[in-house]
């Protein structure tokens, strides 16, 4: 027997600043589905995820709670892990950046970079924003002297830092991307990286900090801690037992380079510029593909605690069940565009797709097998022309799923499986088994029809395994079949005869009652509100109504949006405030939105702010937005015309 081919898949590691919502957990479920599929194909799969536990924000959160940073991240890592585990995710390692083996190798990696001249010591001087952990010159600040990205307070700081020579490897990286067209996917993400970051030229990157202590110290200069770019990104190799001295663990030799880095589209730049360059400096092969998946939205808004639209995996599993939530995640997320969910949509999908289409099909087919043949499966091959088309369609769905998963089109693949079950329901309507049962001369035909249905359900149940593993197991257990290999899906007719299906099939999905679901969701929301009340939220001083009335708040429509040529975190927008008032506004949205997501939105603008220069471009106004843990959500006002006054 030939040795299985290795396949290594990773996700981004979760930052331990708060409980991850389903927008974060979605990525882990997606990776789990891909990993399970590859295992089903016969690969020797390794799946790694984990937590990013260092940094100034973690240090501050720990101080606010009166805990040491290590005690805080220990607690948060447990919370993060629980959110992953509740979704029935099977990872091989949950790495933490506080793990001893990781910290040791990160120090060695930093020293290697320094020894070979890729890192040098320099100095940053300017106004420092703790929220964004970034420096700005005085000319870059807003007119009020605030951070041009988040609008928060800044303070003067001069900091010694180590820089990585990014520019040294820029041409080599550009050529690699050109020679490996599948390295960055989807294609739109690759175009963004090349046109917005590589072609304009790379600046050297600050890779250490002295402004906080919670991090991995530079062993030869311990007042510096190693910043996230080297610390967090290195987990993909340290988790396999990478050793700078070359004495690698067998896991590293077996699984590196990674087959797939699955990450959110907002951090694709770090994984397709910083990380590849570091690997080049280590003389290591680059991952085969980096896939920047879209975001999971609640309605039309990105999930954010500040917007009050956060949904947690454990709460939703309690209401809907594990496989139902896995289905929602995987079915509602397109290949390249953001996915949109609401509670109404969840109920509709579960009742229509899972309970009616799939669940009812399995239940009534097995019930008919029990009613007409005492559950004993037979196939007398009393075939008709209709059966040939039916079998061809079922096997065609198998081919489609394979092609879709080859391109990581998980939504399309799970949709194809549902189409298979829909075709089975149509086959029942076409053949009408209940009518055949009334005619003793049609018993052979009835047995053939039910066999074809059970066989198609068997194939669909196997295909479902990576996506809805519990449901897949239930379907195959109901059939009482031993023909459960992925390879068996390529042949129609392998379901054993003379086996007996279960006497009472297990209900796969119960139909949901809107009132009951609403009550459970309300209970979950109440729990969240109570948790929020426990948080200490600083309040700003009261202002007079006269002061507030000085603000001219208007509805504006975003006409264009592009990245700021001199700042990664900024967008340059053109907005229409009505009455021919077209303005340019510079806003710090680039880490939370893609340019195309902003165009066309109706937003609220403070229209009477004095113009200010931000990184060399004039900005005439400010967009209203909320911010939570680094994520920014625009205040949107759908249905109002540009120029409408907000009061």
Are 159 and 127 within 8 A, CB to CB?
A: no
Secondary structure of residue 150 in the 3-state scheme: coil
Nearest to 616 by CA among 134, 139, 154: 139
CB atoms within 10 A of CB 561: 23
Provide the CA 74 distance to its chain's centre, in angstroms: 23
Rounded Cα distance between 138 and 62, Å, is: 31
Q: Judge whether 415 and 405 are in contact, CB under 8 Å.
A: no
Phi-psi group of 481: left, alpha or beta (phi > 0 → left; psi -120 to 50 → alpha; rest → beta): beta
| Alpha-carbon span 488 to 498, nearest angstrom | 19
- Is residue 146 marked as binding? no
DSSP 508-546: S-PPPPHHHHHHHHHHHHHHHHHHHHTS----PPP--HH
489 annotated binding-site participant: no
Tokens of 449: 């029809």
DSSP for residue 309: -
DSSP line for 155-220:
EEEEEEEEEE-GGGGHHHHHHHHHH-TTSEESHHHHHHHIIIIITT-PPPEE-EESS---SEEPTT
Nearest to 177 by CA among 272, 285, 267, 266: 272
Which residues lie across from 119 on neighbouring strands?
164
Quick one: DSSP state of residue 119? E
Show the CA angle centred on residue 440, arms to residues 438 and 446, nearest 5°. Answer: 75
Task: Output phi, psi for 229, to 5 deg.
Answer: -60, -45
Give the residue numbers of the binding site for Zn(2+).
129, 147, 150
Q: Return binding residues.
A: 129, 147, 150
């Amino acid at each position: 027997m030939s040795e299985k081919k290795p396949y290594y898949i990773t996700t981004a590691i979760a930052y331990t600043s708060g409980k991850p919502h389903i927008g974060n957990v979605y990525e882990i479920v997606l990776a789990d589905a891909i990993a399970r599929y590859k295992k089903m194909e016969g690969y020797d799969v390794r799946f790694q995820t984990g937590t990013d536990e260092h940094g100034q924000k973690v240090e501050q959160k720990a101080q606010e709670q009166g805990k040491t940073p290590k005690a805080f991240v220990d607690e948060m890592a447990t919370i993060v892990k629980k959110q992953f585990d509740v979704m029935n995710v099977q990872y091989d390692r949950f790495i933490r950046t506080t793990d001893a083996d990781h910290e040791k190798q990160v120090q060695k990696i930093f020293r290697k970079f320094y020894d070979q001249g890729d890192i040098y010591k320099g100095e940053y001087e300017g106004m420092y924003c703790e929220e964004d952990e970034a420096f700005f010159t005085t000319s870059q600040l807003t007119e009020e002297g605030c951070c041009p990205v988040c609008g928060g307070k800044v303070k003067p700081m001069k900091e010694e830092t180590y820089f990585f020579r990014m520019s040294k490897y820029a041409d080599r990286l550009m050529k690699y991307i050109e020679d490996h067209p599948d390295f960055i996917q989807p294609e739109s993400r690759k175009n963004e990286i090349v046109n917005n970051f590589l072609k304009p030229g790379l600046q050297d990157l600050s890779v250490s900090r002295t402004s906080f202590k919670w991090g991995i110290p530079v062993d030869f200069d311990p007042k510096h801690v190693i910043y996230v770019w080297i610390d967090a990104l290195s987990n993909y190799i340290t988790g396999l037992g990478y050793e700078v001295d070359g004495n690698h663990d067998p896991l590293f030799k077996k699984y590196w380079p990674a087959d797939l880095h699955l990450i959110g589209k907002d951090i694709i730049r770090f994984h397709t510029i910083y990380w590849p360059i570091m690997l080049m400096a280590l003389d290591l092969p680059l991952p085969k593909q980096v896939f920047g998946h879209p975001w999971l939205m609640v309605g039309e808004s990105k999930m954010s605690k500040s917007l009050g639209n956060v949904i947690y995996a454990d709460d939703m599993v309690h209401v809907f069940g594990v496989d139902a939530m896995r289905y929602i995640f995987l079915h509602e997320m397109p290949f390249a565009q953001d996915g949109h969910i609401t509670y109404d949509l969840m109920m509709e999908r579960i009742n229509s797709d899972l309970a009616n289409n799939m669940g009812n099909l399995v239940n009534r087919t097995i019930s008919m097998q029990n009613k007409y043949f005492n559950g004993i499966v037979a196939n007398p091959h009393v075939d008709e022309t209709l059966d040939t088309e039916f079998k061809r369609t079922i096997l065609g769905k198998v081919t489609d799923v394979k092609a879709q998963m080859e391109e990581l089109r998980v939504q399309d693949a799970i949709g194809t499986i549902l189409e298979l079950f829909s075709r089975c329901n149509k086959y029942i309507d076409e053949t009408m088994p209940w009518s055949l049962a009334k005619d003793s001369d049609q018993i052979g035909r009835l047995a053939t029809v039910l066999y074809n249905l059970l066989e198609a359900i068997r194939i669909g149940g196997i295909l479902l395994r990576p996506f809805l593993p519990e449901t897949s197991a239930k379907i195959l257990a109901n059939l009482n079949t031993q023909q459960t290999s992925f390879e068996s899906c390529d042949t129609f007719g392998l379901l054993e005869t003379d086996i007996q299906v279960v006497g009472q099939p297990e209900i796969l999905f119960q139909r949901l009652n809107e009132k009951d679901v609403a009550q459970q969701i309300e209970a979950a929301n109440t729990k969240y509100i109570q948790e929020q009340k426990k948080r200490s939220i600083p309040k700003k001083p009261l202002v007079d109504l006269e002061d507030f009335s000085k603000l001219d708040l208007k509805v504006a429509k975003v006409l264009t949006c592009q990245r700021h040529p001199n700042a990664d975190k900024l967008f340059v927008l053109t907005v229409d405030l009505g009455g021919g008032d077209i303005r340019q506004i510079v806003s710090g949205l680039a880490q939370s939105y893609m340019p195309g997501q902003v165009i066309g939105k109706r937003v609220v603008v403070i229209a009477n702010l004095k113009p200010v220069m931000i990184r060399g471009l004039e900005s005439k106004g400010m967009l209203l937005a909320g911010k939570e843990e680094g994520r920014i959500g625009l205040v949107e006002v759908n249905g109002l015309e540009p120029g409408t006054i907000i009061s």
